[in-house]
Amino acid sequence: MVVDQIESSRLPQSKSHLKIVSIPYLSEVTNAHLSSDDVEKILKANHIFNNIVLASKLKVIKVSSKLDMSIV
């Protein structure tokens, strides 16, 4: 029974914000805008984010109508 309690107990989880800046908004290859799914796939492919669980959907925001840069 003690083993069951240890296995089912978890460490406290915290939430942090991640801001990624200066990302091209349009793809040079497809000329399509960057989507949150694209960014999520890139993050999951990186080993640094192996134990990271996203609490919400990523938001891709275009910095300016005159610039081709975005913030995630």
Reduce the DSSP state of residue 37 to 3 states and report it: helix
CA-based end-to-end distance of the chain = 45
Reduce the DSSP state of residue 66 to 3 states and report it: coil
pTM of the complete model: 0.66
> What rounded mean pLDDT belongs to the chain?
82
The predicted structure's pLDDT at residue 71 = 93
- Asked whether the predicted pLDDT for residue 33 surpasses 70, the reply is yes
Half-sphere exposure (Cβ direction) of 22: Cα atoms closer than 13 Å: 0
Half-sphere exposure (Cβ direction) of 61: Cα atoms closer than 13 Å: 8
Instruction: Give the model's confidence band at 67: pLDDT under 50 very low, under 70 low, under 90 confident, else very high.
Output: confident
How many residues in the chain? 72
The predicted structure's pLDDT at residue 59 = 92
